[in-house]
Structure 1
Amino acid sequence: MDQEKVTVTLTAAAPAARLFAVLADPTTHAAIDGTGWVQEAVDRAPLTEVGQVFRVDMYHANHPDGAYQVANKVQVLDPPYAIGWLPGQEKEDGHLEFGGWTWRYDLASLAPSETEVTLTYDWSAVPQFIREYIQFPPFGPEHLTNSLHHLAELASRP
């Protein structure tokens, strides 16, 4: 972990295309999540283009609202090698506002059914005013490791 991002890597017993398909399906994100905060996909369509927004319901006991919704904007989509998004919130007027942190998965095929998966949580673009009330990272690196284990398990299912 450096000062502004956490990166973990795992070798999964699954092809990169299968892992990518799981990541590109918002309905799997609650099962992948290593924190337990992601609840259910609101937008269920597969992720197919940069700029696409997908919303997920969240729950965190320390969040002011407890239950809340995150609007994620796809920033990277390079099947089957990389996928990433910028979490934010949708305001009452429909405007999306982003905090500056990102999630990114990079996939490198090692063999036909073996892929190195790297997950990066990066908060280097978070403005100071947000850092004053949110501690980064808001979880330990073990949560990213848990996410990769969950992803590998989902991708290895028939």
Structure 2
Amino acid sequence: MPPAPAPAPTKVGPVNPDKVTATQTIPAPAPALFTLLANPATHAAIDGTGWVQEPVDRARLTQVGQVFRMGMYHPDHPLGVYQVANQVHVLDPPRAIGWRTGEEKEGGHLEFGGWTWRYDLVPLGPSETEVRLTYDWSAVPASIREYLRFPPFGAGHLADSLRHLAALATDG
């Protein structure tokens, strides 16, 4: 059996004041990649920082407005271990999926910080897809920017996430 093809290089877009993107061609069909992205149980394996832990809500992402919570870990977070509440704001199977991240306050009220994650999938053929991951913090208010630096991770995070997605999709 011939060796699996080497993964395509990831292109990281320039960081503008409020958004960063990375793009990679993955040798997998768009529906298979979308299935991975719509499953909160795969998010820890895809994440390029190691911050995303276990999903609290494991239901597949199927509609705009759906909320899914994830366990998180960050050494600089006041609690170290914490939880985020994500709300799906883009869902166009198998072409796009995105969510905004926040937290659940007392009484179940959700409060979002103004940053979003979005994956855009462009089929390049039956078994190849260009995937663009965008982290956008343009809606983060000044009050949050006073104590959080954006983006809160290194430039390689998005590229690492796309490489992890490719590895999951190709069992490699």
Q: How does the TM-score come out when normalised to structure 2?
A: 0.90
Q: In structure 2, which of residues 130, 134, 158 is the aligned counterpart of residue 144 of structure 1?
A: 158
Match of 2:53 among 28, 34, 39: 39
Cα distance between partner residues in 1 of 2:78 and 2:36: 31
Matches within 5 A, 1:8-157: 8-157=22-171
Shift of 1:139: 0.7
Q: Which amino acid aligns with 2:152?
A: P
Runs of 4 or more, structure 1, over 3 Å off, are none
Provide the rounded CA distance (Å) in 1 between the counterparts of 2:158 and 2:131. 11
Return the alpha-carbon distance in structure 2 between the equivalents of residues 83 and 118 of structure 1: 11
Equivalenced residue count is 158
TM-score of the two chains, using structure 1 as the length reference: 0.98
**Structure 1: stretches of 5+ with no match in the other structure:** none
Counterparts of 1:24 and 1:43 in 2: how far apart (Å)?
Answer: 12
Deviations along 1:111-136, whole A, 9 cap, x unmatched?
11100000000000000000000000
CA apart distance, 1:40: 0.4
Cα RMSD for the two superposed structures: 0.9
In 2, Cα distance between equivalents of 1:117 and 1:149? 10
> 1:149, CA displacement in angstroms?
0.4
SS of 2:119's equivalent in the other structure is strand
Q: Secondary structure at the match of 1:93?
A: helix
Structure 2: segments with no counterpart, 5+ residues: 1-14
Question: Is the CA contact (8 Å cut-off) linking 1:8 and 1:141 kept in structure 2?
Answer: no
Asked which structure has the greater CA Rg, the reply is 2
Give the fraction of aligned pairs with identical amino acids, expressed as a percent: 70
Residue identity in the other structure for 2:50: G
Q: CA deviation at 1:157?
A: 2.9
Deviation at 1:97, TM superposition (A): 0.3
